[in-house]
Structure 1
C-alpha cells in the first residue's frame, strides 16, 4: 500500500487530471510558473553552461566527485526545462555526489525529431571533448526524457562512440505508437491522458514514423547497451513500456534491472514521499555500482 504521504499526492494528482487539457503553451507556462522562485536544496550549486551550442545547467554539491549524470528531462517532447527539473537534479546530486547536467534541448513542435536527440548526443560529445571519460557518465531520463536517453544510446552505438557507464530510466516513454495495454488499462489512474500523449507524439514526428527505434526504442535492438536501471510506478500508462524495455534488454544480453513501485504513479521519484526517497537511494547505489554489473 502507498504511504499516507503518497496517498495525499495521488489525491492531488487526481484533482489535477480532472481539469481540461491545456494547450502546449499553457502547459509550458504553468510548469515554469510552478517552479519559479523555488530554490534548490541547501548544499547544491547551480550554474549555466553552453555545450556544443546547447544551453545546459549544472547542479552539484560543493564536494561533487568526477561522476556526471546527464539528465534528460521529461515533458512529452513539448515541455520541460532545466528549471522544471532543478529540484530533482539537486536531489540526485545530493544523494550520489555526482555533478548533474541538464540540457535545455530543442522542444517540439517548433523543433521536431531529430532535434532533441541531436542535442543530447551533442552534449554527450562535449563532455568527452572536455575530458570526461565515458565510464564516468551516467545518462538518465524521465518519461519522454527516458525514451530520449535510450535513443541517444542507440545513436551513440550507431556512431561507434563509447557507451556511458550506465543508464537510469524513470518511467520511460519508449513507444510513441502507444501500443501497450497499459495505455488503456491504467488510463483511469492519474496519468498523462491519451489525448496529451498523442498530441506530444504527433508534435515530435508524423504518426507513420513512430515505430522508428530512435523515436520508440521499445522496437529497437538493444544489444550493446550499458547496464540499465528502470524504475516505474505500478499504476501508470507507461508501465508496459518499462517492462517491455527491460525484457528486450535482457533478451539482448544487457544487464537490466526493473523496479516497479506498488500503487504509485508516473515519475513518482520527483515527489516528497518515502517511496521516492527509497527510489533515490536505489539510484545512488546503482550509479556507484561497478561496470561489471548492477
Structure 2
C-alpha cells in the first residue's frame, strides 16, 4: 500500500464516510447530493490529452424514443475508428454522471487509443430499474449503428455501473444480440441486497462506504420490484465474453466481486479477478495520484487490447 493510498484512505474514512453514511434518502437529499457531486467533479477535470464531446443522438428506428445522451471521449491525437469502449458510471444508481467519471473515461481513451462513450442513463428513484438497463442497451446498439462491430466493443463499469455493465452483457447474450468483445468491472456492486457484504462488514475497513449506506441505497433502487436481471449471481452466464474484475482489498464489496468471479468461472467464462490489497472502492478514479490505480488502468488497457484482437498484450493477473 503506497503512502499516497494510506493518506487518502484515512482522510476519506474520517471525512467523507460520515457524510455519506448520513445521506438523506428522500428526493431533496438525493438532488442535493447530485449537485454537490457535479460541482466537485468540475474541480477534478480529465486527462489533459483527452477530448470530450457531448452526444445527443435520436434513435434511428423510433423518433419518439429517448435519445442516446452522453459523452464521447477520444485521445487528442485521434482514436481508432473500428473499436470502442462503452463505460457505465457508478453512483449507486442514484447520483453521478459521465462528467463525474472523466478521470477514468479519459484515462481509458488515452491508454487504449479507443473512443470511450459514457451514456447519461436515467437514475433512481425517479427512474427505477430497468430504465438504466434500457438506456445502456440503447447506447450499445447506437455504437453498433455508428459502425463499431460488436465484437470490438468492450463494456465496462464501476460499482453500480459495474452491476449495470454485467446486467447489460448478460441481457445481450441471453437475447441473442451480437456479443461484445469483453467486460471490465471495477468494484462491481453485485448483490443489491448486500447480504454477502453484511456477512463480512465487521472485518472490513472500507474508506467511505458503510454496509448501512449500501443497503439503504439498494432498497431505493430495488423497491418492491423483483426483476430477475438484478440478481447477477442467479443469472445464466452462458456464452459470456472474457471478463476482467478489479476490486480493492479493503472495500465492502470485495466478497461480492469474488463470488461473481467464481460464478463466471464455474460457467466456463474466461474471468480474471484482480485484488489490489489495501485499496478502497473504485480506487481507479484516483489514477493521477495513486500508483496502484495507474497500475490497474494499465492492466485494463492491456486486457482491452487483448480482447479486441491485439496479440501483443496478455493482461495476466495481479495478486
Shorter-chain TM band: over 0.9
User: Are residue 87 (structure 1) and residue 123 (structure 2) matched?
Assistant: no
Query: Aligned pair count?
Result: 291
Structure 1 unaligned spans of 5+: none
Of 122, 127, 130, 1:106 maps to: 122
Find the aligned partners of 2:295 and 2:10 in 1 and give their Cα distance. 21
Report Cα offsets for 1:159-190 as digits up to 9, x if no partner. Answer: 21011100000000011111114552355432
Q: 1:290 to 1:197 in 2, by over 3 A?
A: closer
Cα displacement (A) at 1:17: 1.0
Structure 2 unaligned spans of 5+: 25-29, 60-66
Q: 1:203 to 1:163 in 2, by over 3 A?
A: same
Stretch of structure 1 that moved more, 136-145 or 191-200: 191-200
Of 252, 266, 277, 2:294 maps to: 277
1:106-145 equivalent positions in 2, closer than 5 A: 106-145=122-161
Q: TM-score, normalised by structure 1?
A: 0.93
The root-mean-square deviation of aligned C-alpha atoms, in Å, is: 1.8
- In the other structure, the counterpart of 2:220 is 203
User: Are residue 78 (structure 1) and residue 63 (structure 2) matched?
Assistant: no
Instruction: Tell whether the 8 Å contact from 2:182 to 2:307 is kept in structure 1 after alignment.
Output: no
Instruction: Tell whether the 8 Å contact from 1:140 to 1:168 is kept in structure 2 after alignment.
Output: yes
Cα displacement (A) at 1:18: 2.7
Q: TM-score, normalised by structure 2?
A: 0.86
- In the other structure, the counterpart of 1:266 is 281
Cα displacement (A) at 1:8: 1.1
Cα displacement (A) at 1:125: 0.8
2:306 aligns to what SS in structure 1? coil
Instruction: Tell whether the 8 Å contact from 1:171 to 1:232 is kept in structure 2 after alignment.
Output: yes
1:1-294 equivalent positions in 2, closer than 5 A: 2-15=1-14, 16-19=16-19, 21-23=22-24, 24-51=30-57, 52=59, 53-62=67-76, 63-66=78-81, 67-181=83-197, 183-207=200-224, 209=226, 212-271=227-286, 272-290=289-307
Report Cα offsets for 1:68-97 as digits up to 9, x if no partner. Answer: 110000000101101101122111111111
Report Cα offsets for 1:238-270 as digits up to 9, x if no partner. Answer: 101110111010110100000000111110111
Stretch of structure 1 that moved more, 229-238 or 83-92: 83-92
Find the aligned partners of 1:289 and 1:40 in 2 and give their Cα distance. 25
Where in structure 1 do 4 or more consecutive aligned residues deviate above 3 Å?
185-188, 290-294
Find the aligned partners of 1:29 and 1:218 in 2 and give their Cα distance. 33
Q: 1:201 to 1:290 in 2, by over 3 A?
A: closer
- In the other structure, the counterpart of 2:27 is none
Find the aligned partners of 1:267 and 1:113 in 2 and give their Cα distance. 23
Report Cα offsets for 1:79-130 as digits up to 9, x if no partner. Answer: 1101101122111111111111100000000000100000000110111122
Cα displacement (A) at 1:30: 1.5
Instruction: Tell whether the 8 Å contact from 1:41 to 1:90 is kept in structure 2 after alignment.
Output: yes
